[in-house]
Chain A
Protein backbone atom coordinates (compact mmCIF):
# COMPACT_ATOMS: atom_id res chain seq x y z
CA UNK A 1 0.00 0.00 0.00
CA UNK A 2 2.76 2.44 1.06
CA UNK A 3 4.73 1.66 -2.09
CA UNK A 4 1.70 2.22 -4.32
CA UNK A 5 1.19 5.68 -2.81
CA UNK A 6 4.88 6.57 -3.19
CA UNK A 7 4.86 5.33 -6.79
CA UNK A 8 1.77 7.44 -7.46
CA UNK A 9 3.38 10.50 -5.86
CA UNK A 10 6.58 9.87 -7.85
CA UNK A 11 4.54 9.91 -11.06
CA UNK A 12 2.94 13.15 -9.82
CA UNK A 13 6.40 14.66 -9.23
CA UNK A 14 7.48 13.70 -12.77
CA UNK A 15 4.29 15.30 -14.11
CA UNK A 16 5.06 18.47 -12.11
CA UNK A 17 8.61 18.44 -13.53
CA UNK A 18 7.33 18.01 -17.11
CA UNK A 19 4.69 20.72 -16.72
CA UNK A 20 7.16 23.24 -15.24
CA UNK A 21 9.66 22.47 -18.02
CA UNK A 22 6.98 22.86 -20.69
CA UNK A 23 5.59 26.07 -19.15
CA UNK A 24 9.13 27.49 -18.84
CA UNK A 25 9.91 26.68 -22.46
CA UNK A 26 6.66 28.28 -23.72
CA UNK A 27 7.17 31.39 -21.59
CA UNK A 28 10.77 31.93 -22.73
CA UNK A 29 9.70 31.33 -26.34
CA UNK A 30 6.92 33.90 -25.92
CA UNK A 31 9.28 36.47 -24.38
CA UNK A 32 11.87 35.93 -27.10
CA UNK A 33 9.29 36.57 -29.84
CA UNK A 34 7.96 39.96 -28.69
CA UNK A 35 8.45 42.75 -31.20
CA UNK A 36 8.26 46.41 -30.31
CA UNK A 37 9.18 49.48 -32.27
CA UNK A 38 9.28 52.91 -30.68
CA UNK A 39 8.65 56.07 -32.74
CA UNK A 40 9.79 59.25 -31.09
CA UNK A 41 8.56 62.69 -32.17
CA UNK A 42 10.08 65.72 -30.54
CA UNK A 43 8.31 69.08 -30.21
CA UNK A 44 9.56 72.18 -28.44
CA UNK A 45 7.42 71.50 -25.35
CA UNK A 46 6.94 67.75 -25.44
CA UNK A 47 8.23 64.36 -26.50
CA UNK A 48 5.78 61.85 -27.90
CA UNK A 49 6.79 58.20 -27.73
CA UNK A 50 4.60 55.79 -29.64
CA UNK A 51 5.47 52.12 -29.21
CA UNK A 52 3.94 49.49 -31.47
CA UNK A 53 3.92 46.04 -29.80
CA UNK A 54 3.37 42.73 -31.59
CA UNK A 55 2.85 39.65 -29.42
CA UNK A 56 2.71 36.29 -31.17
CA UNK A 57 3.00 34.08 -28.11
CA UNK A 58 0.91 31.18 -26.85
CA UNK A 59 -1.32 30.54 -23.83
CA UNK A 60 0.00 33.35 -21.61
CA UNK A 61 -0.93 37.03 -21.74
CA UNK A 62 1.73 39.68 -21.92
CA UNK A 63 2.07 42.70 -19.71
CA UNK A 64 4.15 45.35 -21.47
CA UNK A 65 5.26 48.43 -19.53
CA UNK A 66 7.43 51.24 -20.83
CA UNK A 67 8.85 54.07 -18.80
CA UNK A 68 10.84 56.94 -20.29
CA UNK A 69 12.81 59.30 -18.07
CA UNK A 70 14.42 62.44 -19.46
CA UNK A 71 17.47 64.10 -17.88
CA UNK A 72 19.39 67.33 -18.32
CA UNK A 73 23.18 67.49 -18.68
CA UNK A 74 23.57 67.52 -14.86
CA UNK A 75 21.67 64.23 -14.68
CA UNK A 76 18.62 65.83 -13.01
CA UNK A 77 15.28 64.30 -13.94
CA UNK A 78 13.29 66.73 -16.08
CA UNK A 79 10.24 64.62 -16.81
CA UNK A 80 9.05 61.07 -17.13
CA UNK A 81 6.20 59.07 -18.56
CA UNK A 82 4.94 55.54 -18.06
CA UNK A 83 2.49 53.42 -20.01
CA UNK A 84 1.32 49.83 -19.82
CA UNK A 85 -0.72 47.41 -21.93
CA UNK A 86 -1.87 43.81 -21.51
CA UNK A 87 -1.87 41.79 -24.73
CA UNK A 88 -3.46 38.44 -25.46
CA UNK A 89 -1.62 35.97 -27.73
CA UNK A 90 -1.69 37.18 -31.35
CA UNK A 91 -2.62 40.76 -30.44
CA UNK A 92 -0.93 43.99 -31.53
CA UNK A 93 -1.30 47.19 -29.57
CA UNK A 94 0.45 50.49 -29.13
CA UNK A 95 1.37 52.56 -26.11
CA UNK A 96 1.62 56.30 -26.44
CA UNK A 97 3.45 58.50 -23.98
CA UNK A 98 3.28 62.25 -24.06
CA UNK A 99 6.00 63.74 -21.91
CA UNK A 100 5.69 67.48 -21.35
CA UNK A 101 9.16 68.96 -21.13
CA UNK A 102 11.24 71.83 -22.47
CA UNK A 103 13.12 69.73 -25.02
CA UNK A 104 16.00 72.19 -25.39
CA UNK A 105 17.09 71.23 -21.87
CA UNK A 106 17.02 67.48 -22.48
CA UNK A 107 20.45 65.89 -22.66
CA UNK A 108 19.62 62.20 -22.54
CA UNK A 109 16.93 59.74 -21.57
CA UNK A 110 16.58 56.29 -20.10
CA UNK A 111 14.06 53.81 -21.44
CA UNK A 112 12.86 51.02 -19.13
CA UNK A 113 10.83 48.21 -20.64
CA UNK A 114 9.25 45.46 -18.54
CA UNK A 115 7.62 42.45 -20.14
CA UNK A 116 5.85 39.86 -18.01
CA UNK A 117 4.02 36.66 -18.80
CA UNK A 118 0.60 36.71 -17.16
CA UNK A 119 -1.94 34.04 -16.34
CA UNK A 120 -5.06 34.64 -14.28
CA UNK A 121 -3.61 37.99 -13.27
CA UNK A 122 -0.46 36.41 -11.86
CA UNK A 123 2.97 37.52 -13.07
CA UNK A 124 5.04 34.41 -13.82
CA UNK A 125 8.27 35.11 -15.69
CA UNK A 126 9.41 38.57 -16.63
CA UNK A 127 12.26 40.48 -18.21
CA UNK A 128 13.26 44.09 -17.98
CA UNK A 129 15.44 46.09 -20.34
CA UNK A 130 16.98 49.43 -19.68
CA UNK A 131 19.03 51.56 -22.06
CA UNK A 132 20.19 55.10 -22.58
CA UNK A 133 18.91 57.12 -25.54
Chain B
Protein backbone atom coordinates (compact mmCIF):
# COMPACT_ATOMS: atom_id res chain seq x y z
CA UNK B 1 0.00 0.00 0.00
CA UNK B 2 2.71 2.60 0.85
CA UNK B 3 4.55 1.64 -2.38
CA UNK B 4 1.39 2.21 -4.42
CA UNK B 5 0.85 5.59 -2.73
CA UNK B 6 4.48 6.59 -3.36
CA UNK B 7 4.26 5.64 -7.04
CA UNK B 8 0.95 7.47 -7.46
CA UNK B 9 2.50 10.46 -5.69
CA UNK B 10 5.50 10.54 -8.04
CA UNK B 11 3.32 10.24 -11.15
CA UNK B 12 0.85 12.90 -9.94
CA UNK B 13 3.69 15.27 -8.98
CA UNK B 14 5.29 15.02 -12.42
CA UNK B 15 1.92 15.24 -14.20
CA UNK B 16 0.96 18.37 -12.20
CA UNK B 17 4.05 20.20 -13.48
CA UNK B 18 3.67 18.90 -17.04
CA UNK B 19 -0.03 19.83 -17.28
CA UNK B 20 0.27 23.21 -15.53
CA UNK B 21 3.59 24.49 -16.90
CA UNK B 22 5.20 22.48 -19.68
CA UNK B 23 2.20 21.85 -21.98
CA UNK B 24 0.59 25.34 -21.73
CA UNK B 25 3.83 27.32 -21.95
CA UNK B 26 5.30 25.24 -24.79
CA UNK B 27 2.00 25.65 -26.73
CA UNK B 28 2.22 29.37 -26.10
CA UNK B 29 5.82 29.46 -27.33
CA UNK B 30 4.83 27.55 -30.48
CA UNK B 31 2.02 30.04 -31.16
CA UNK B 32 4.37 32.99 -30.60
CA UNK B 33 6.89 31.53 -33.04
CA UNK B 34 4.14 30.94 -35.57
CA UNK B 35 2.14 28.02 -36.89
CA UNK B 36 1.04 27.47 -40.47
CA UNK B 37 -2.64 26.73 -41.16
CA UNK B 38 -3.75 26.34 -44.81
CA UNK B 39 -0.52 27.95 -46.05
CA UNK B 40 -1.14 31.02 -43.85
CA UNK B 41 1.32 31.70 -41.08
CA UNK B 42 -0.36 32.57 -37.84
CA UNK B 43 1.31 34.11 -34.81
CA UNK B 44 -0.38 34.68 -31.47
CA UNK B 45 0.99 36.94 -28.75
CA UNK B 46 -0.43 37.31 -25.28
CA UNK B 47 0.24 40.61 -23.55
CA UNK B 48 -1.39 40.24 -20.17
CA UNK B 49 -0.23 36.76 -19.22
CA UNK B 50 2.42 36.67 -16.52
CA UNK B 51 4.49 33.61 -17.48
CA UNK B 52 6.58 33.96 -14.30
CA UNK B 53 3.48 33.62 -12.09
CA UNK B 54 2.24 30.67 -14.18
CA UNK B 55 5.60 28.95 -13.69
CA UNK B 56 5.67 29.68 -9.94
CA UNK B 57 2.08 28.51 -9.41
CA UNK B 58 2.79 25.31 -11.37
CA UNK B 59 5.88 24.74 -9.26
CA UNK B 60 3.94 25.43 -6.03
CA UNK B 61 1.17 23.01 -7.08
CA UNK B 62 3.80 20.38 -7.89
CA UNK B 63 5.47 20.79 -4.48
CA UNK B 64 2.10 20.69 -2.68
CA UNK B 65 1.16 17.51 -4.60
CA UNK B 66 4.45 15.88 -3.59
CA UNK B 67 4.01 16.96 0.05
CA UNK B 68 0.37 15.83 0.25
CA UNK B 69 1.47 12.35 -0.86
CA UNK B 70 4.37 12.41 1.63
CA UNK B 71 2.22 13.20 4.67
CA UNK B 72 -0.95 11.69 6.00
CA UNK B 73 -3.69 12.92 8.25
CA UNK B 74 -4.64 16.52 8.95
CA UNK B 75 -1.52 17.94 7.31
CA UNK B 76 -2.45 16.11 4.08
CA UNK B 77 -5.90 17.75 4.29
CA UNK B 78 -4.35 21.21 4.69
CA UNK B 79 -1.93 20.62 1.78
CA UNK B 80 -4.80 19.44 -0.45
CA UNK B 81 -6.81 22.60 0.26
CA UNK B 82 -3.72 24.74 -0.41
CA UNK B 83 -3.11 22.93 -3.71
CA UNK B 84 -6.66 23.56 -4.92
CA UNK B 85 -6.38 27.22 -3.90
CA UNK B 86 -3.19 27.48 -5.98
CA UNK B 87 -5.01 25.85 -8.93
CA UNK B 88 -7.93 28.30 -8.57
CA UNK B 89 -5.51 31.26 -8.65
CA UNK B 90 -3.72 29.67 -11.63
CA UNK B 91 -7.06 29.52 -13.52
CA UNK B 92 -7.69 33.19 -12.65
CA UNK B 93 -4.22 34.22 -13.94
CA UNK B 94 -4.92 32.44 -17.26
CA UNK B 95 -8.37 34.03 -17.53
CA UNK B 96 -6.77 37.47 -17.18
CA UNK B 97 -3.91 36.54 -19.49
CA UNK B 98 -6.11 35.86 -22.50
CA UNK B 99 -7.95 39.17 -22.26
CA UNK B 100 -5.51 40.87 -24.60
CA UNK B 101 -3.87 39.06 -27.51
CA UNK B 102 -2.52 39.89 -30.91
CA UNK B 103 -3.01 37.58 -33.87
CA UNK B 104 -0.75 38.14 -36.86
CA UNK B 105 -2.03 36.67 -40.14
CA UNK B 106 -0.07 37.48 -43.29
CA UNK B 107 0.02 41.32 -43.19
CA UNK B 108 -3.05 41.73 -41.02
CA UNK B 109 -2.89 42.29 -37.27
CA UNK B 110 -6.03 41.44 -35.32
CA UNK B 111 -6.32 42.39 -31.66
CA UNK B 112 -8.26 39.67 -29.89
CA UNK B 113 -9.55 39.49 -26.35
CA UNK B 114 -11.29 36.61 -24.64
CA UNK B 115 -13.56 37.43 -21.72
CA UNK B 116 -14.26 34.25 -19.76
CA UNK B 117 -16.76 36.16 -17.63
CA UNK B 118 -19.20 34.21 -15.49
CA UNK B 119 -17.91 30.85 -16.69
CA UNK B 120 -14.44 31.21 -15.13
CA UNK B 121 -16.05 32.34 -11.84
CA UNK B 122 -18.09 29.09 -11.80
CA UNK B 123 -14.95 27.06 -12.69
CA UNK B 124 -12.94 28.68 -9.85
CA UNK B 125 -15.75 28.20 -7.32
CA UNK B 126 -15.97 24.56 -8.51
CA UNK B 127 -12.21 24.07 -8.00
CA UNK B 128 -12.29 25.56 -4.51
CA UNK B 129 -15.38 23.53 -3.60
CA UNK B 130 -13.75 20.27 -4.79
CA UNK B 131 -10.57 21.11 -2.86
CA UNK B 132 -12.54 21.95 0.27
CA UNK B 133 -14.50 18.68 0.14
CA UNK B 134 -11.40 16.57 -0.50
CA UNK B 135 -9.62 18.30 2.38
CA UNK B 136 -12.63 17.89 4.67
CA UNK B 137 -12.85 14.20 3.80
CA UNK B 138 -9.17 13.69 4.60
CA UNK B 139 -9.49 15.73 7.82
CA UNK B 140 -12.43 13.67 9.10
CA UNK B 141 -10.67 10.44 8.15
CA UNK B 142 -7.56 11.58 10.03
CA UNK B 143 -9.66 12.43 13.09
CA UNK B 144 -11.32 9.01 12.96
CA UNK B 145 -7.94 7.24 12.68
CA UNK B 146 -6.58 9.21 15.64
CA UNK B 147 -9.60 8.21 17.73
CA UNK B 148 -9.17 4.54 16.76
CA UNK B 149 -5.47 4.64 17.73
CA UNK B 150 -6.30 6.23 21.08
CA UNK B 151 -8.88 3.50 21.74
CA UNK B 152 -6.30 0.82 20.85
CA UNK B 153 -3.82 2.34 23.34
CA UNK B 154 -6.45 2.30 26.16
Please report A residues at the B interface, Cβ cutoff 8 Å: 2-3, 6-7, 9-10, 13-14, 16-17, 20, 23-24, 27, 116, 122-132
Contact = CB atoms under 8 A, between A and B. Distances in A.
Interface residues of B, number: 22
A126 B111 contact: no
B111 A130 contact: yes
Interface in B100-142: 108-119, 122-123, 126, 129-130, 133-134, 136-137, 140
A7 B129 CA distance: 13
Given A13-B129, A124-B117, 18 more contacts: A2-B140, A9-B133, A10-B130, A16-B130, A17-B130, A20-B119, A20-B122, A23-B119, A24-B119, A124-B118, A125-B117, A125-B119, A126-B114, A127-B112, A127-B114, A128-B113, A130-B110, A131-B110
Nearest to A3: B140
Given A20-B122, A124-B118, A129 B140 contact: no
A17 B126 contact: yes
Chain B contact surface mostly: helix
Contacts of B122: 16, 20
Contacts of A20: 119, 122-123, 126
Nearest to A13: B130
Contact of B117 (A9, A14, A126): A126
Nearest to A131: B110
Contacts of A10: 130, 133-134, 137
Contacts of B116: 125
